[in-house]
Structure 1
Amino acid sequence: MTDDDLLHPDYLPLVLLVDDEVRSQDAMRRTLDEDFRILCASSADEARALLERHEAAVILCDQRMPGLTGVAFLREVRERWPETVRIVISGYTDSEDIIAGINEAGIYQYILKPWVPDHLLQTVRQAVEARTLQRGVHRLELDLRAGTTALRARRGDRLAQARAAFGFDRIERAPGSPLDGVCEMAARVARYDLSVLVLGESGTGKELLGRAIHYGSPRAEGPFVLENCAAIPDTLLESELFGHKRGAFTGAFEDHIGLFQRAHGGTVFLDEIGETSPAFQVKLLRVLQEGELRPVGSPRPIPVDVRVIAATHRNLEDEVRAGRFREDLYYRLTGITLNMPPLRERVGDIPPLARRLLREVGAELGRPGVVWADDAMGVLMGYPWPGNIRELRNEIARAIALSDGERIEARAFSTRVLHGQAGRHAAAQGQDGVATLPQTGTLQERLDAIEAVVLREVMLRQRWNKTRAAAELGLSRVGLRAKLQRFGLEDPK
């Protein structure tokens, strides 16, 4: 595997979990398996065998195992597989042993039990990021030895690959989508070093937009780092973003470089900025105003050069009026404000999104050849998707898992989706109560969406009496039954 593979949009880094307790393995797998490929081992011997055959980006190892301790095994890993990032998990009673072996084993970080899923996921993400950056440094050193011409060529190739993988074209949408205007404005402001605030519901793709802005900017050759401000306790967020010095607080056993320093010359993406406390907002405002930060416990400030892209599902103007968000920080973040529309407001984007997600999820689940049946798309377009793209992806994964053939039919969808089209009807109504035609998609896709809404409305009004509904619609019972089956409409009772 090469570093260029890391830029491939379908690449998932490999994480090796080493723990003799199956329940602990399962808990970590559930936390990490959406973002990473996972392998599990119950002992150091099993882990060695796996490392001989697979290149792991990160290894998470329990401290207490039969035979070797976690630190002792990670010491061996450092010698034989030095590029694998090493993380040890332990209870409080093991902390002295781990501290004594941190330098010798080259442990990136240790996590105390009981661990928090969001913190574990974020730690592994940062470990992969650190590994990628380190490997990039090694390659740059080789390039420098080869000469500046080779350096520019290699750097240009990597940048072109990154822009192809994470550019605005990678934000899936149909022609004429409401996202076109958002992406056009984002592409314009990407060229200028302005702060950007991205608003939108959870799961609408705010992070994808932020990444596209970074790779469309003059900072594209610099790092892109992200942090979910809601996933880390407020007491740890300052240390995570700005760093800390050894001994600054209990548990600070060594200097920690914060994300702002790692992103020097690049972009920091702060997700869910609206969840931060007023105390933290003061410290963030100072960094943005002065262009320098002070790690926790450090007597001297450090200059940093970063662009900040913030995102939130909250209405920050309301939060400012309510006194929960600082007005001066709000205006500092809103150089440009972009709004990501929810999926229910861009129904025409569902077909291309669903086709792409079917390919991606099908490949991840070992079913690369699956396709949509004729009745599936109408059902997908008839559901309001309150969880947006994230919910759509999960529903597609469920449908693939429950389908045996190559065609994914509507009956494989959850009851929530099959019976949730009344929500789409409400979302599609204008002020006069009349359903409106979707503004994007092919003619057949638009007609299917409207037909599904009309059928659902009549069936609800007729209390799912097929005889009366068929008479109202001018259909035979057989014809009505065929249409209900095509769109996956069933009596919720």
Structure 2
Amino acid sequence: MTANPRPRLPTVLVVDDEVRSQEALRRTLDEDFEVFTAANADEAQRIMESEWVQIIVCDQRMPGMSGVEFLRRVRSQWPDTLRIILSGYTDAEDIIAGVNEAGIYQYLLKPWQPEQLLLTLQTAARVHRLQQENQRLSLELRTAEPVLARRVDSKQERARREFALDGLIRSPQSPLNAVCDLVERIAPFDLSVLISGESGTGKEMLARAIHYRSRRAERAFVVEHCGALPDQLLEAELFGYKRGAFTGAYEDRHGRFQQADGGTIFLDEIGDTSPVFQVKLLRVLQEGEFRPLGATRSQSVDVRVVAATHHDLEAEVRAGTFREDLYYRLATVTLRVPPLRERAMDIPLLAGSLLDAGQKLLGKSVAGFSTEALACLAAYPWPGNVRELQNEILRMLALADTPRLGADLLAPRILRTPAVNQREDHLLELIPLAGGLKERMEALEARVLKETLIRHRWNKSRAAGELGLSRVGLRGKLVRYGLERG
């Protein structure tokens, strides 16, 4: 196998015999990953032999070799590659057997959801990075144990600093301050915490901050995304299993709860679990014990539980879709992470921090943002929250050819701020409520003129051409609306 230099973005190989499925996966992933595609196992094998691949996303049903068969081969030849299987096949026992035989990291049912798939792969990339770091540390342990001990200590300190509340980017007026103050007060105590908030608001980061400010900070912080697996797979992941518990269970496996013993377990998207599974989870929280699949005895565990959801669980309890007793076990303390649209005052600071990280990631330096660009970033509602802001800044940085990131680099949806979730009446939101029809239409015309000029970097000839105006006509409108720029 030829060695290639490590790419700056994590690499994903998509193996699927359907071209439309390949393209859908590529569109979902290509902003965050370098994506390779293959139509069958043989083509994927050739890519693996020439490219450095971190994650494989493989369809189960393909002509010739099935997904599990191919991933079993990958496991023997490239054991460090994380393997994810996609399928509409729902027989849990066969799924678990395939997962274990091929060492599959995650199993996703079709039809997959773009946000769920992207979140799963982002987590997988972090896991792969941590695995590589652990391997390097293990190698150093064999050659220089005292040096390694110091490095492990410094790694723990880095984790403390990274997830300290002082490291959460926010302004003195931020609504996030109240959340952080509450975390400061409850983190030292072994109380269950339920964190609610939209996707991309940083719920997992807040959970880590709770862990690293608790008496459990020296022990494990274990994450499980509960919405990504069917019940039996989730049970196997959380509680583990004994050898022979099902076909393909060739050895005992510790579950997430056992891995987190003495530390903290973070159950993300707990609201997506079924009522049947909620009963099994409730027993762990009530009794402090669980029974692995195939075991005859229960095991005790000492774990602090932090859960997160984007659902309104109180409403689901009232509707009868989420167990009331489990809710109150999880929600000893509740935290709500405000979405980014409620934190406009934080965006300049947050954008600066994300830009610093992006420059290190891409190896490209700029002086910062233009005033226009920051104003547009602060005005946009960011339905994808911090994750969307991070992606937009990386995109701007990649496209930049000037010392500062200007507003012309922004995606059109951000330039056309304020956006209103694609509603049919969104034009009304662009027009001020005060004034008559003439004043309102002039305000809309001024907004269109400014957005067009920003996109064309204030090149009046190009802007006039796009708008179907002469340069003289455009200049007259700019003077009229006070949009002339020196």
Give your verdict on TM over 0.5. Answer: yes
Equivalent residue number for residue 181 of structure 1: 178
Pairing 1:274-293 to 2, within 5 Å after superposition:
274-293=271-290
Q: Provide the C-alpha distance between the structure 2 equivalents of 1:338 and 1:147, rounded to a whole number of angstroms.
A: 44
Deviations 1:271-323 (A, max 9, x none): 23234344333222211122221234432222333221112234444444444
Q: What letter matches 2:211 in structure 1?
A: H
Q: Mark the CA change 1:38 to 1:258 in structure 2 (over 3 Å): closer, same or farther.
A: farther
Equivalent residue number for residue 241 of structure 1: 238
Q: What letter matches 1:211 in structure 2?
A: R
Deviations 1:398-449 (A, max 9, x none): 76788776643168443476242799xxxxxxxxxxxxxxxxxxxxxxxxxx
User: Does the 8 Å CA contact 1:108/1:127 hold for their aligned counterparts?
Assistant: no
User: Does the 8 Å CA contact 2:93/2:246 hold for their aligned counterparts?
Assistant: no
Q: What letter matches 1:356 in structure 2?
A: S
Deviations 1:325-363 (A, max 9, x none): 434333322333323223233221121223334555677
User: Does the 8 Å CA contact 1:459/1:465 hold for their aligned counterparts?
Assistant: no
User: Does the 8 Å CA contact 1:375/1:410 hold for their aligned counterparts?
Assistant: no
Pairing 1:285-364 to 2, within 5 Å after superposition:
285-358=282-355, 360=357
Q: Provide the C-alpha distance between the structure 2 equivalents of 1:364 and 1:90, rounded to a whole number of angstroms.
A: 33
User: Does the 8 Å CA contact 1:99/1:253 hold for their aligned counterparts?
Assistant: no
Equivalent residue number for residue 441 of structure 1: none
Aligned counterpart in structure 2 of residue 414 of structure 1, from 406, 409, 412: 412
Q: Mark the CA change 1:324 to 1:297 in structure 2 (over 3 Å): closer, same or farther.
A: same
Aligned counterpart in structure 1 of residue 379 of structure 2, from 378, 382, 392: 382
Structure 2 unmatched runs, 5+ = 1-5, 422-428, 447-475
Q: What letter matches 2:441 in structure 1?
A: W
User: Does the 8 Å CA contact 1:240/1:259 hold for their aligned counterparts?
Assistant: yes
Q: Mark the CA change 1:411 to 1:420 in structure 2 (over 3 Å): closer, same or farther.
A: farther
Pairing 1:113-192 to 2, within 5 Å after superposition:
114=110, 116-117=112-113, 149-150=146-147, 152-192=149-189
Q: Provide the C-alpha distance between the structure 1 equivalents of 2:413 and 2:96, rounded to a whole number of angstroms.
A: 51
User: Does the 8 Å CA contact 2:58/2:85 hold for their aligned counterparts?
Assistant: yes
CA RMSD of aligned residues (A): 5.0
User: Does the 8 Å CA contact 1:421/1:456 hold for their aligned counterparts?
Assistant: no
* Displacement after TM superposition at 1:248 (Å): 5.5
Equivalent residue number for residue 268 of structure 1: 265
* 1:225 match: secondary structure: strand
Q: Mark the CA change 1:345 to 1:99 in structure 2 (over 3 Å): closer, same or farther.
A: closer
Equivalent residue number for residue 203 of structure 2: 206
Equivalent residue number for residue 107 of structure 1: 103
Aligned counterpart in structure 2 of residue 59 of structure 1, from 56, 59, 67: 56
* Displacement after TM superposition at 1:270 (Å): 1.8
Q: Provide the C-alpha distance between the structure 2 equivalents of 1:272 and 1:20, rounded to a whole number of angstroms.
A: 31
Q: Provide the C-alpha distance between the structure 2 equivalents of 1:332 and 1:96, rounded to a whole number of angstroms.
A: 30
| Percentage of matched positions with identical amino acids | 51
Deviations 1:104-140 (A, max 9, x none): x853368588563567557656765765676676567
Q: Would you say how many aligned residue pairs link Structure 1 and Structure 2? A: 441
- The normalised TM-score by structure 2 is 0.69
Q: Provide the C-alpha distance between the structure 1 equivalents of 2:276 and 2:444, rounded to a whole number of angstroms.
A: 64
Q: What letter matches 1:290 in structure 2?
A: E
Q: Mark the CA change 1:229 to 1:153 in structure 2 (over 3 Å): closer, same or farther.
A: same
User: Does the 8 Å CA contact 2:97/2:248 hold for their aligned counterparts?
Assistant: no
* Displacement after TM superposition at 1:27 (Å): 3.5
Q: Provide the C-alpha distance between the structure 2 equivalents of 1:208 and 1:388, rounded to a whole number of angstroms.
A: 14
User: Does the 8 Å CA contact 1:247/1:253 hold for their aligned counterparts?
Assistant: yes
Q: Provide the C-alpha distance between the structure 2 equivalents of 1:132 and 1:366, rounded to a whole number of angstroms.
A: 19
Question: Within the alignment, does 1:481 sit opposite 2:478 as a pair?
Answer: no
* Displacement after TM superposition at 1:156 (Å): 0.4
